[in-house]
Amino acid sequence: MKVWLATALACLLSIGAWAQEDPKAAVEPLKIARDTFYQDVSKFQAGQLTEEELVIRISEQFAPLINDRTVALRVMGKFARQATEAERDRFTDRLESSLVDAYARGLAAYGGEQLVLPEEGIILKPGRAVVEARLESPGREALPIQFALGFEEGKGWMVENVVIAGINLGLTLRNQFADLVQSTGSVTGAIDSWSFESVSAK
């Protein structure tokens, strides 16, 4: 029995290690979310989903893709060290909610754009990858989008940052958080002020 358990554990660890270095696996979560979104949009256009139902379904697909803890700590930047564990947890929840809401409502205004994903991502090192994509719209120049992903055991590849046409979303949000700390006078004030509207305004 012990030999069997040891063998099974070794197999699981080898699968995890393989996934961290598999360029195709890095793209798969993005493809699934994209294709599910297109299916939901078709249902919305056919009158089978309301706009609010579409937003909810997009949110459900988007939330598991985000490594919310990693993103939150990066957005807090140097202020993460000043915050208590409870404040870091609270900001993680608020950031995820605001990003998912902003993303979902933006996609709900879908105008026929196509997210073109490569067959493989670029493995920078085990557990770190980038996926170079583009958003194509009729009559417009394609918009380059770079997804930075990290691999989490038990969760797989998750998005940690996005760069759209050279604009680094993570850096933009970090500057925004720093501005809120300055304007409110505290880390707590910045967390309390963070919302869907604050993210969408930038």
Per-residue pLDDT tens over the stretch 39-74: 998 898 899 998 889 888 888 888 888 899 999 999
Least confident of 101-110, 151-160, 174-183: 101-110
| Torsions phi, psi for 154 (to 5 deg) | 85, -15
88-127 pLDDT, tens per residue?
999 999 998 888 877 777 776 777 888 999 999 999 999 9
For 25-200, CATH gives 3.10.450.710
Mean pLDDT (whole number) for 174-198: 90
Give the strand pairing for 143-152 and 156-164: antiparallel
With CA atoms as reference, report the closest residue to 190 among 72, 59, 105, 15: 72
For residue 201, what pLDDT is reported? Answer: 52
With CA atoms as reference, report the closest residue to 181 among 78, 103, 44: 78
Mean pLDDT (whole number) for 185-201: 82
What pTM was estimated for this model as a whole?
A: 0.82
